[in-house]
DNA sequence: ACGGCTAATATGTATAGACATTTAGTCGAC
DNA sequence: GTCGACTAAATGTCTATACATATTAGCCGT
């Protein structure tokens, strides 16, 4: 029987990982000119389309920059860019083996005012759903969430009572979004927050604020407050994704 | 004079943005099968390589998934993945128009022990440089930094005194890294930390821990403590990069 | 009804060539 | 020398074709 053909990475994958290895090992530092397409073509004995596809892919991934006539260069590493995984809270809780619990504290429909967190995005008087809820892990308070949902953009939210489904999970499954913004800070728990999280007043909490858009429309604002002693955000990453 | 030829996006760009628009507008929701290559080929009157390149690019970007024989499908949006920009501190401070100041609190060379933050990465007894420093904005304490640098991997660090250059900036410019891990949490300032940051004891601070590797070697560990009232991390991002 | 074979289908990979576009670098005129 | 125009070099885009490979629908026999 003929020897089984080795899976042998596709040629373009081999070329790509060769180049990535050179870059990631530091052998080709930032600014280094990588071989011209015709050189790689000769080196690997393949057509230009093949190396072109590879290098275009590396450029799309931000690993290299291309300049006509000049060549292709290893990109300057971006200062620090981390891909933070921020799953929704039920998933986060069950992911650590705890039992997830959820409580709706209030749900009301109102119009935005001039001091709302969304005031800069939504004109005052916009119809929103205003929710507050509490996430529990093994029966103990884990996070508080304040949430505003723009009803003009997500009218179905008005018919959802959110007494059993957390708004974050519901929105993820119902509304496609195109852009979001996070803000992460450390704050001391207010009197009310401390009570709702069963912490002493002023206890350090991780505060995650998120605004989400769909095209030009603001969809939602969320402020999640996590017990500092029970939660942290972790991210593992490479220089350029 | 003949009308100037409109810049007219390259065909593959037009195809790509057409498809992206359909996906981002929600018209083609997650799981929707996008037209087969041969259909797009007919629709745009082009060669298969052209649509193939487009769709392969969308797949590489995570916007769609491809299954042989079945077709190409709009991907489920990934839970939440944010690209966090975390520039080094001098840049951060001057970027907000404040004057940056830096103070080295101590610098000593020692061997790691069993309870070091790097204990799981470095065997006890590894030679490290142990630094503590303080970052100031307009003369006021802004952040505290504890830093360990593995001297076996970065021997040049032993000859650097770090009395004027922050270790983070120095490392960024001297050592290529291949992987890093962040951990973001909220903590209350200890007595010493409170004194060094000129805060009341227990004041909420944002704590950013970072471990950095080069290949299999651990390069450095940093723990940066920011005044909660003066600092937050912000990120703006799209569903799939 | 069930299980396995087969053939059709859509993507995956690659080629060789063509022409367009941008721009670094050269060379010449002033 | 300086500023321009020109040229050649490298990437950008696209075509038409070919064959490989994975997957599944459907056929077929039991």
DSSP string, A110-170: EE--TTSTTTTTS-TT-EEEEEEEEEEETTEEEEEEEEEEETTT-GGGGG---SSS-HHHH
And the tokens for A123?
A: 């004109």
Using an 8 Å CB-CB cutoff, list chain A residues near B202: 202, 204
Which residue has better confidence, B212 or B149? B149
Residue B48: pLDDT over 70 = yes
User: Nearest by CB to B60, which of A60, A180, A232?
Assistant: A60
At B85 the pLDDT is: 60
Predicted confidence (pLDDT) per residue in B50-94, tens digit: 999 999 999 998 889 999 999 999 987 654 555 566 667 888 888
- Give the distance from residue A178's alpha carbon to the nearest chain B alpha carbon, in angstroms: 6
Lowest mean pLDDT among A187-201, B31-45, B88-102: B88-102
| Rounded Cα gap, residues A204 and A112, in angstroms | 29
**Which tokens in the block code for residue B207?**
């704590």
B11-74 against B89-227: fold identical: no
Q: Point out the nucleotide closest to A7 (alpha carbon to C1′).
A: D21
Handedness of CA B146, B150, B154, B155 (dihedral sign): positive
B208 within 8 A of B143, measured Cβ to Cβ: no
| Distance from residue B37's CA to nucleotide C9's C1', rounded to whole Å | 12
Q: B224 with B144: CB under 8 angstroms?
A: yes
Chain B contact set for A76 (CB, 8 A): none
pLDDT of residue A188: 95
Contact: A86, B83; criterion CB under 8 Å = no
Residue B133 has a pLDDT of 97
Per-residue pLDDT tens over the stretch B188-205? 999 999 999 999 999 999
- The correct CATH number of B89-227 out of 3.40.228.10, 3.40.1410.10, 3.30.70.60, 3.20.20.140 is 3.40.1410.10
Measure B39 CA to D11 C1' (Å). Answer: 29
Query: Residue B199, class by beta-carbon neighbours within 10 Å (0-12 exposed, 13-18 middle, 19+ buried)?
Result: buried
Nucleotides of C under 7 A from a protein CB: 8-18, 21-24
**Average predicted confidence (pLDDT) for chain B:** 86
Contact between residue A210 and residue A221 where contact means Cβ atoms under 8 Å apart: yes
Q: Which CATH code for domain A11-74?
A: 1.10.10.10
The tens place of each residue's pLDDT in chain A, 241 residues long, gives 333 334 567 899 999 999 998 987 778 988 899 999 999 999 999 999 999 999 999 999 888 999 999 999 998 765 455 556 666 788 878 878 889 999 999 999 999 998 898 888 888 899 999 999 999 999 999 999 999 999 999 999 999 999 999 999 888 778 877 778 888 889 999 999 999 999 999 999 999 888 888 878 899 999 999 998 777 776 666 554 4
| Domain spans, chain B | 11-74, 89-227
- pLDDT at residue B161 above 80? yes
Identify the CA nearest to A225 among candidates A238, A200, A207. Answer: A207
């Amino acid at each position: 029987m003929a020897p089984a053909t080795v899976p042998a990475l596709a040629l373009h994958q081999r070329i790509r990982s060769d180049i990535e290895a050179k870059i990631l090992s530091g052998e080709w530092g930032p600014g280094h000119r990588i071989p011209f397409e015709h050189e790689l073509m000769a080196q690997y004995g393949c057509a230009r389309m093949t190396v072109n596809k590879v290098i275009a892919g590396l450029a799309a991934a931000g690993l290299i920059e291309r300049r006509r006539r000049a060549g292709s260069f290893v990109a300057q590493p971006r200062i620090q860019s981390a891909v933070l995984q921020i799953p929704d809270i039920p998933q986060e809780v069950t992911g650590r083996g705890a039992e997830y619990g959820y409580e709706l504290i209030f749900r009301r429909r109102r119009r935005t005012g001039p001091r709302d967190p969304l005031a800069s995005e939504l004109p005052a008087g916009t119809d929103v759903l205003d929710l507050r809820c509490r996430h529990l892990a093994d029966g103990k308070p884990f996070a508080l969430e304040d949430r505003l949902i723009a009803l003009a953009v997500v009218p179905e939210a008005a018919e959802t009572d959110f007494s059993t489904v957390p708004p974050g999970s519901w929105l993820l499954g119902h509304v496609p979004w195109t852009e979001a913004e996070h803000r992460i800070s450390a704050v001391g728990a207010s009197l009310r927050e401390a009570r709702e999280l069963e912490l002493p007043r002023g206890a350090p909490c991780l505060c995650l604020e998120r605004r989400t858009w769909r095209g030009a429309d603001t969809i939602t604002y969320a402020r999640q407050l996590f017990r500092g002693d029970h939660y942290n955000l972790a991210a593992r990453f490479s220089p350029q994704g």
